[in-house]
Amino acid sequence: MASAAFFGTQVSRTYWPLKIPPVEWGGRFILKRFAQLSGSRLKRGPEDEPIGLALESMRWYGLFGRFGDADKDWWAGLADVQLPVLAVSAAGDHQDPTWACRKLFEQIGSEHKQFVNLGRDQGFADNFGHVEMLVSKAAQAEVWPLVARWLVDQRTALLPGQADLAAAV
């Protein structure tokens, strides 16, 4: 793998109801009846999500859950990542808020990484949402050219005023 790009990605947000074992058990019982979750019905995007992803997320957020498995702590392992990383959050994303995406970004150990928050305060036309950051006319005009530029050269800052950040982070 030469590089990695994350769009609206986080693992830090806590869902407190899932800390109550009967709620988690009931959720698992219900979810196991499905093969997939409808992305469009749940307003999470145009694609359906595999049920295994939801079950794994429930394991992470449960009472004794953690981001990892029995052998490894995946959160600590992010510090060992050394490939170029682009992390993109959306100012209007309520599912994966910017603070949580930023926390994941800061855990990654690569010296060549960039964080972009898609919002008006950063010079974008609008505060993008979770889906709109990838699937919209505005994304086609504003986001994808940034991503294409990053794929060609991961070491050059994508946004004005970010030159020091790209070099230092």
Q: Is 39 in the same domain as 95?
A: no
pLDDT tens digit sequence for 65-96: 777 777 888 888 899 999 999 999 999 999 89
22-26, 62-66, 105-109, 164-168, range with the lowest pLDDT? 164-168
Residues 54 and 98 in one domain: no
Which residues are registered as beta bridge partners of 119? Answer: none
The three-class DSSP label of residue 139 is helix
Position 66 in a domain: no
Does 155 lie in the same domain as 89?
Answer: yes
Name the H helices within 20-87.
21-31, 51-61, 74-77
92, part of any domain: yes
pLDDT tens digits for 129-156?
Answer: 998 999 899 999 999 999 999 999 988 8
Say if 15 falls within a structural domain: no
**Claim to verify: residue 56 and residue 91 sit in the same structural domain:** no
**Residue 4 vs residues 23, 43, 51, 108, 163: alpha-carbon distances, Å:** 35, 25, 24, 11, 20
CA distance 47 to 4: 21
Question: Would you state the structure tokens that stand for residue 35, as one six-digit string?
Answer: 């093969």
* Domain shared by 97 and 51, yes or no: no
Mean pLDDT over the full length of the chain = 87
Which residue, 104, 78, 91, is CA-closest to 9?
104
Residue 16 lies in a domain: no
Number of domains in the chain: 2
Other CB atoms within 10 Å distance of the CB of residue 26: 11
Residues 91 and 152 in one domain: yes
Q: Is residue 101 part of a domain?
A: yes
Q: Let me know whether 87 and 150 are in one domain.
A: yes
Question: pLDDT (tens digit, 9 = 90+) per residue, 113-124?
Answer: 999 999 999 999
Helix, strand, coil tally for the chain in percent (to 5): 40, 15, 45
Domain span at residue 130 reads 4-10+83-168
What pLDDT does residue 149 have? 94
Q: Is the domain of 102 the same as that of 51?
A: no
Within a domain: 73: no
Classify residue 132: in a domain, yes or no.
Answer: yes
Convert the pLDDT of each residue in 23-54 to its tens digit. 989 999 999 999 998 888 887 777 888 999 88
Q: How confident is the model at residue 165 (pLDDT cuts 50, 70, 90)?
A: very low
**Domain identity same for 112 and 164:** yes
Bridging pattern class, strands 85-90 and 113-118: parallel
Say if 67 falls within a structural domain: no
